[in-house]
A and B are shown apart, each in its own frame.
Chain A
């Protein structure tokens, strides 16, 4: 089955700096890659996703890149703010397999003011 590895497990950045989280996946058939943000006591919330027919997607301060050949994808957060502090999860999925997601282990991001 699919295996998703996520690094780093914790990340501390100064407010205003950039944060980068990297994930690798094992199944070359995976073609949908969402990123979720989880705040304390809440469920994961989708922040951005990318499909395998594009290499990069941007939404304001958040961007995701995908390298299908190397089977890795990354989340980039620019101009970090204290409210970006949370746990971030990457995931991978194969279309038509019941939309099932395989998650990475998560990255705890702390933005220091």
Chain B
């Protein structure tokens, strides 16, 4: 199993350009997440999805859109990139808490990130 795969690994954009980051997981996880990681600030949740066709806002959703058309894929879009969106982006996935014995939260599995620079 590949786990969580993110493409591309690196990208440089100019201000105002658009792009889509792709996340794919092969673990049949119900939940998927997009985080950004900035120096000294840990990981902050951008958007997440609890199932195919559903998305919800996280802590820092402004300037981003997401789509989950297939269970295994979660796309993060930047419509008009800004320098403040320079960051490392991580995708993660997990089982639903409903699928676990005792209905408890399940660990999130992370990809290796996309390093995005916006000039």
Q: Is the CB of A98 within 8 A of B110?
A: no
Q: Does A29 count as interface, using CB distance less than 8 angstroms?
A: no
Q: Which of A1, A4, A51, A101 has the most chain B CB within a 10 Å cutoff?
A: A101
Q: Does B50 count as interface, using CB distance less than 8 angstroms?
A: yes
Q: Is the CB of B43 within 8 A of A99?
A: no
Q: Is the CB of A43 within 8 A of B111?
A: yes
Indicate with 1 or 0, residue by residue over A62-96, a CB within 8 angstroms of chain B CB atoms: 00000000000000000000000000010001111
Q: B94, B104, B112: which contacts A95 (Cβ < 8 A)?
A: B104
A98-B109 in contact given A89-B43, A105-B42 (Cβ < 8 Å):
no
Once the chains are docked, how many angstroms separate the CA of A89 from the CA of B110?
A: 13
Least CB distance from B36 to A in Å reads 11
Q: Is the CB of A51 within 8 A of B108?
A: no
Q: B40, B96, B110: which contacts A44 (Cβ < 8 A)?
A: B110
Q: Is the CB of A43 within 8 A of B97?
A: no
Contacts of B45 in A (CB 8 A): 100-102
Q: A51, A89, A96, A99: which contacts B94 (Cβ < 8 A)?
A: A99
B residues engaging A (CB < 8 A)? 4, 31, 33, 40-45, 48, 50, 56, 58-59, 90, 92, 94, 96-97, 103-113
